[in-house]
Structure 1
Amino acid sequence: MCSHYEAPDPEHLFNVYGSIPGHKYKLDLWPGYTGPFLRQRLPERQDEDASQVEVTAGIYGLLPHWAKDTKLARRTYNARSETVAEKKSFRSAWAQGNHAIVLARAIYEPDWRSGIAVPTRITRRDCGLMGIAGLWDRWTGPDGEETLSFCMLTVNADQHSLMKLYHRPDDERRMVVILPNGCHQDWLKAKPEDSWDYMRQYPADRLQATPATSTSR
């Protein structure tokens, strides 16, 4: 499960997608922080001359409409693909096909093989951005202001040659769903009933891991 990751800077987003989120965001992200993500441009926002992919920002941790406050984001930043369709926090976004891509330079996981958690920075071996499959939702706060939020989807990694090395010895190994570059548009446009087709492990030989120097908030 991923609770900590690095987002690309606005300049990088503009160079790749031609736009940046309308809200400021942090580059070092934890649940509850605001970060960038991609989604299919909504019908009312579509324009013949504009990209059909929208770069926006929201709270890391999905906030369904019934959330009382943003504190729920601390528990809804990852969604298990096996149960996402039934879990109260995620089932509406999954059923509606609210697909997002969470952009990350790197993710962090704890390496417990020494008996002590060693924060580890995991990146793509080619140094490209990770496009992580996720969901987004809208939430209206007590003040009436609408807020976007997002989460990352995860799959079992007990047999993944790299990601099985992380987390506590007795815990199930999990990993986020990193999409191949060629699948990004397809995931954003996929119908809800086709969502499960994208829940796959990213090849271990395309990732690399190094001990992190710092993971402080």
Structure 2
Amino acid sequence: MCVNYTPTRRDQLVEKFAAIDQTGEDWRPEIWQDYAAPFITHDHLKRRRAQLGSYGMIPKSKIPAGVKRFSTMNARAETIDQLRSFAQAWRMGQRCLIPLQNFFEPNYETGKAERWQIGVKDHSDFAVAGLYQGWNEEDGQQSFSFTQITINADLHPVMRQFQKPEDEKRSLVILHEQDYDGWLACPHPDLARQFLQLFPAEQMWAKAANLDRTRAKTKRPTTNPSAIQASLFDDE
């Protein structure tokens, strides 16, 4: 489960991900639910393009009045083809790359939640597997939202360190660079599942985050992050 991450830098969209930059706007240094961040898809010529989307498959603005807000930041691979929030996008092949520098998870080894930061070993930017959704707005424009796909990580040497001791361990699907285009272009949902694998632990790093430095740089969401964490399974 991931509810907060550090997105890629603008210069890396081209340099690292070879994507045409169509984002048009800047994004925050840390991403939480409903924040705008870049995601990458194929255009009609199979070129990678980066656009901005809202983190969470169903943005807050799209939840009908009177309906309790639920989290769609993460989509469980095991039920991605069954839950209404994700099933259509999965069947329609609306797959994307979500470019990151690193992401955050809670570590409870000290007895209380401690914020940890996770990335890949060479500290380069990387992409995780996701789905995206388009929305038609009243002004005739189209907006986008996206979710990150998670898989079981009970036995993963790095990712099993996180979440409460009694909880199932989950991990984002970190994709190998050589699989970026294969994931985006895979012709059938069942075939796309072959990409939903755990990333090798020896190619990852994890450490306690510098909370003071993080708080100084990033405005936190008004929603309590611990409440967001607790609600992750509402729609999974």
TM-score, normalised via structure 1 length: 0.88
In structure 2, the partner of 1:184 is 180
Q: 1:30 aligns with which of 29, 32, 45?
A: 32
Within a 5 Å distance, the mapping from 1:66-215 to structure 2 comes to: 67-68=62-63, 75-141=71-137, 145-191=141-187, 192-214=189-211, 215=214
The one-character-per-residue Cα deviations of 1:126-182 (angstroms, maximum 9, x if unpaired) are 112121000011123456542101111000000111100100111110000000111
In structure 1, list runs of 5 or more residues that go unmatched: none
Is the CA contact (8 Å cut-off) linking 2:20 and 2:48 kept in structure 1?
A: no
Amino acid across the alignment from 1:30: W
Report the secondary structure of 1:104's partner residue: strand
Residue by residue over 1:68-118, the C-alpha shift from the partner in whole angstroms, topping out at 9 and shown as x without a partner, is 36x998610100000000001000100001010000000101100111111
With 55-64 and 194-203 compared, the bigger mean Cα shift is at 55-64
Which whole-Å CA distance do the structure 1 matches of 2:120 and 2:128 have between them?
12
Contact 1:140 1:147 in 2 (8 A): yes
Verify: 1:54 aligned to 2:49, yes or no: yes
Q: Residues 63 and 72 of structure 1 are in contact (CA less than 8 Å); yes or no, is this contact kept in structure 2?
A: no
How far does residue 37 in structure 1 lie from its aligned partner after superposition?
A: 1.0
Q: Is the 8 A contact 2:108 2:114 kept in 1?
A: yes
What are the superposed Cα offsets for residues 27-60 of structure 1, whole Å, 9 maximum, x if unpaired?
Answer: 210111000111011x3xx4xxxx7111111001
Is the 1:125–1:207 contact (alpha carbons within 8 Å) kept by the matching residues of 2?
Answer: yes
Instruction: Give the C-alpha shift of residue 7 in structure 1.
Output: 0.8
Correspondence for 1:19: 20
Whole-Å Cα distance in 2 between the matches of residues 52 and 181 of structure 1?
15
Once the two structures are superposed, what CA deviation does each residue of 1:159-207 show, in whole Å capped at 9, x if it has no partner? 1111001001111100000001110110010122312111110011110
Cα pair 2:2 2:105 within 8 Å, conserved: yes
Match of 1:105, SS state, is strand
2:79 is paired with a residue whose SS is: coil
Residues 133, 73 of structure 1: alpha-carbon distance in 2 compared, 3 angstrom cutoff: farther
Does the aligned pair in 1 maintain the 2:63–2:69 contact within 8 Å?
Answer: no
TM-score (norm 2): 0.82
- Shift of the alpha carbon at 1:12? 2.3
Root mean square deviation, CA, Å:
2.3
Structure 2 residue 7 is the aligned partner of structure 1 residue 10: no
Structure 2 vs 1, CA of residues 102 and 18 (structure 1 numbering), >3 Å: closer, same or farther? Answer: closer
Report the equivalent of 2:231. Answer: none
Identical positions, percent = 29
